[in-house]
Amino acid sequence: MTIAAIIVAAGRGRRAAGPLPKQYQQLAGIPVLARSIEVFARHPQIGKIIVVVNSDDLALFAQRIKPHCGDAVHCVSGGETRADSVFAGIAAAEGAQKVLIHDAARPLVTQDLISKVVKALETHSGAAPALAVSDALWQGADDRVVACVPRDGLYRAQTPQGFQRETIMAAHAAHIGGASDDVEVALAAGLDVAIIEGEETNLKITYASDFQRAERILGHSMDIRCGNGFDVHAFCEGNSVTLCGVTLPFSHGLLGHSDADVGMHALTDAIFGALAEGDIGQHFPPSEARWKNAASDLFLGHAVARVQARGYRFGNADVTLICEAPKIGPHAGEMRAALAGIMEVDMDRISVKATTTEKLGFTGRGEGIAAMATVTLVKS
């Protein structure tokens, strides 16, 4: 079953003020749209992400959003109305059986809410999150209350709103006139739409003050973890060493059950430490013959998969290699690139550097190499 997320980002957002449309403005250092994309990109049930943008914003998207999401999304141009933009997104989701239609201006949507909408689509043709109205409602005119409105059975609509793709596509094609959201289109076509309990934090950024509200929520809800790792391998007979995924010609090798990549081992341990999931020896016991001479990218790849499965992303990683030789500096860029590729992050989140111990200790005597690493993991 293929599920596509359609993130609608073609609006102008003028009520939010600012020099740019609100979806391209920064929210705690990351553009609003990039935050919305990132949540869906991490969800294991989402197979495709389509972002619908204003045709005038294609360059802006490439400049501000593309660096955060890379090739994880397919970008299409929107239409004159929201309904036109949604239809363009649905049409681009060819091959998907179900679609989740989400407003880019709701960057605090959670993995849990997405899962609930997906689950509801197993038994309904449509599903959408909403919150029951709890406040008293008034009807006003000229800054005065003119009537009280019963709140029984009223809900505040949210997104993502999920549908069977072919069904909602036909509903949009047949719909005449504007619609406040896709549920209105679905109801006009006679579709069954289930109400999923929404989340108070899933706010829609509409006004400038909403940025401050969203940042306060991020500050309270963000889960940040830190882990550190340390590893040592002695020199042995050989003609090369592998450090942070890069093989360097050298007068010795490194002694170990696997390929003895001391930098990658320290980094892997740091990740397991941040997750509170033990250490590399527990996951890959050296007593087991199958790990003999194994490439350490297998270990790091497993740790990265655990990060993703737990719903975290990498904030950054910092590796320090401690040795008198070989020289690390000329190869640090290649090492950063190798680690970034395995960890599926941009290179600017990876640091590899080296130091000596001023001829002191076993590294100073040229008996081996040590490494320490620190990582931060973020869930929001």
Q: List pLDDT tens digits, range 251-271.
A: 999 999 889 999 999 999 999
- Which of the listed residues 221, 251, 268 is the one where a domain comes to its end? 221
Cα angle 104, 106, 108; round to 5: 125
Examine the domain organization and report whether 158 and 237 are in the same domain.
Answer: no
Within this chain, do residues 167 and 25 fall inside the same structural domain, yes or no?
yes
- Model confidence at 19: pLDDT above 80: no
Secondary-structure percent of the chain, ordered helix, strand, coil, rounded to 5: 35, 30, 35
Q: Which domain holds residue 318?
A: 223-379
Q: How much is the CA Rg of the chain, to the nearest whole Å?
A: 26
Dist. CA 16–CA 36, nearest whole Å? 17
Q: Which of 355, 103, 129, 318 is nearest to 226 (CA)?
A: 318
Considering the chain, what is the average pLDDT of its residues?
A: 93
The CATH number of the domain holding residue 217 is 3.90.550.10
Which of 197, 221, 245 is at the close of a domain? 221
CATH, residue 356: 3.30.1330.50
Spell out the alpha helix ranges (H) of 44-108: 58-64, 66-69, 82-92
**371 & 245 share domain:** yes
Q: How confident is the model at residue 293 (pLDDT cuts 50, 70, 90)?
A: confident
317, 343 contact by CB (below 8 A): yes
* Whether residue 122 is found in the same domain as residue 253: no
Cα gap 323→333, rounded to integer Å = 18
**Is residue 373 domain-shared with residue 236, that is, in the same domain?**
yes
Give the pLDDT of residue 380: 59
Do 98 and 13 share a structural domain?
A: yes
Q: Are residues 88 and 233 in the same domain?
A: no
CA separation for the pair 110, 19 (Å, rounded): 28
Residue pLDDT, tens place only, 44-70 = 999 999 999 999 999 999 998 988 887
Going by pLDDT thresholds of 50, 70 and 90, the confidence category of residue 1 is low
Confidence bin at 219 (pLDDT 50/70/90):
confident
Distance CA 118, CA 45 (A): 8
Residues 228, 359, single domain; the answer is yes
Same domain, yes or no, for 147 and 242? Answer: no
My answer on whether 125 and 169 are in the same domain is yes
Is pLDDT above 90 for 343?
yes
Task: Give the mean model confidence (pLDDT) for residues 286-295.
Answer: 84
Same domain, 180 and 253: no
Q: How confident is the model at residue 292 (pLDDT cuts 50, 70, 90)?
A: confident
Residue (of 174, 157, 172, 206) closest to 18 by Cα position: 206
Q: Could you say which of 165, 189, 221 is where a domain stops?
A: 221
Does 289 have pLDDT greater than 90?
no
Do 98 and 61 belong to one domain?
Answer: yes
Number of structural domains in the chain: 2
